[in-house]
Amino acid sequence: MPESETCDALVVGAGFGGLYQLYRLREAGLNVIVIDAAGDVGGTCWDKEDLLQYHWKDHYVKQPEVLAYLNHVADRYDMRKHIKFRTELVDAKWDDSIHRWRIQTSGGKEIQSRYMVTALGLLSKQNYPAYPGIDLFKGELYHTGNWPQQHDFKNKRVGVIGNGSTGVQVITAIAKEVKSLLCFQRTPQYSVPSGDGPVSKEYREKINQNYDAIWHQVKNSAVAFGFEESTVPASSVTEEEREAKFEEAWQKGNGFRFMFWTFNDLTTNEESNEAACEFIRKKIRQTVKDPKKAEKLCPTDFYARRPLCDAGYYEQFNRPNVDIVDLKQTKITEFTEKGIRTSDGTDHELDVIIFATGFDAVDGNYTRVAIKGRHGESLKEHWSEIGPTTYLGVSVPDFPNLFMITGPNGPFTNIPPTLETHVEWITELIKRAEAHRKDSSDPESVVVEAKPEAEQRWTQLCKELSDNSLFKKTDSWIFGANVPGKKNAVMFYFGGLKGFRDELEKERQSAYAGYVPL
Ligand code: NA7
Helix (H, G, I), strand (E, B), or coil: what is residue 512?
coil
339 shares its domain with 280: yes
Q: Which atom of ligand 1 is nearest to the CA of 187?
A: 39
Shared-domain flag, residues 253 and 345: yes
Asked if 44 and 141 sit in the same domain, the reply is no
Counting from 1 in the atom list of ligand 1, the atom nearest the Cα of 168 is 26
Q: Is residue 36 part of a domain?
A: yes
CATH of the domain at 368: 3.50.50.60
User: According to the model, what pLDDT value does residue 53 have?
Assistant: 84
246 plus 296 within the same structural domain: yes
Contacts 24+ apart (CB under 8 A), 47-55: 47/73, 47/76, 48/211, 50/76, 51/211, 52/208, 52/211
The answer to whether residue 223 is domain-embedded is no
Residue 403 counted as domain residue: yes
Q: What is the CA(164)–ligand 1 centre distance, in A?
A: 5
| 386 found inside a domain | yes
Closest among 160, 191, 183 to 317, alpha carbons compared: 183
Helix 415-439 × helix 16-27 angle, to 10°: 30
Contacts 24+ apart (CB under 8 A), 18-21: 18/43, 18/117, 18/119, 18/405, 19/43, 19/44, 19/70, 19/73, 19/74, 19/79, 20/44, 20/46, 20/419, 20/420, 20/423, 21/117, 21/119, 21/405, 21/423, 21/426, 21/427
- Tell me, yes or no, whether 216 lies in a domain: no
User: Ligand 1 centre from 248 Cα, in Å?
Assistant: 28
Per the structure, the complete domain to which residue 191 belongs is given by 134-200+229-355
Instruction: Tell me, yes or no, whether 100 and 160 share the same domain.
Output: no
Of all helices (H) and strands (E), which one includes residue 33?
Answer: strand 32-35
Residues 351 and 378 in one domain: no
Residues contacting ligand 1 via CB (< 6 Å)? 123, 129, 144, 161-167, 186-187, 306, 327, 356-359, 477, 482
Distances in whole angstroms, Cα of residue 253 to Cα of each of 60, 214, 249, 259, 307: 11, 19, 6, 11, 12
- Please tell me the total count of domains within the chain: 2
Q: Give pLDDT tens digits along the chain (518 positions).
A: 446 899 999 999 998 899 999 999 999 999 999 999 888 776 434 677 788 888 888 888 888 888 888 899 999 999 999 999 999 999 999 999 999 999 999 978 899 999 999 998 877 788 999 999 999 999 999 999 888 878 899 999 999 999 999 999 999 999 999 999 999 999 999 999 999 999 999 999 999 999 999 999 999 999 999 999 999 999 999 999 999 999 999 999 999 999 999 999 999 999 999 999 999 999 999 999 999 999 999 999 999 999 999 999 999 999 999 999 999 999 999 999 999 999 999 999 999 999 999 988 777 788 888 999 999 999 999 999 888 999 999 999 999 999 999 999 999 999 999 999 999 999 999 999 999 999 999 999 999 999 999 999 999 999 999 999 999 888 888 887 777 877 788 899 999 999 999 999 999 999 999 999 99
User: What pLDDT sits at residue 11?
Assistant: 97
Query: Are 367 and 499 within one domain?
Result: yes
Q: What is the residue with the minimal CA distance to atom 25 of ligand 1?
A: 358
In a domain, 397, yes or no: yes
The pick from 126, 186, 324, 478 for probing ligand 1's pocket by mutation, whose C-beta has the most ligand atoms within 8 angstroms, reads 186
Q: Give the bridge partners for 5, in sequence order.
A: 111
- 336 and 372 share a domain? no
Domain boundary residue among 299, 333, 355? Answer: 355
Last residue of a domain, one of 355, 374, 409: 355
Based on the domain organization, do 251 and 378 belong to the same domain?
no
Are residues 171 and 303 located together in one domain of the fold?
Answer: yes
What pLDDT, on the 0 to 100 scale, is given for residue 43? Answer: 44
Q: How many angstroms is it from 367 CA to the middle of ligand 1?
A: 20
Q: Are residues 154 and 102 in the same domain?
A: no
Q: Is residue 205 part of a domain?
A: no
Domain end, chosen from 355, 380, 411, is at 355
Question: Is 389 inside any structural domain?
Answer: yes
ipTM of the complex: 0.97
Q: What is the pLDDT of residue 158?
A: 98
Same-domain check for residues 336 and 276:
yes
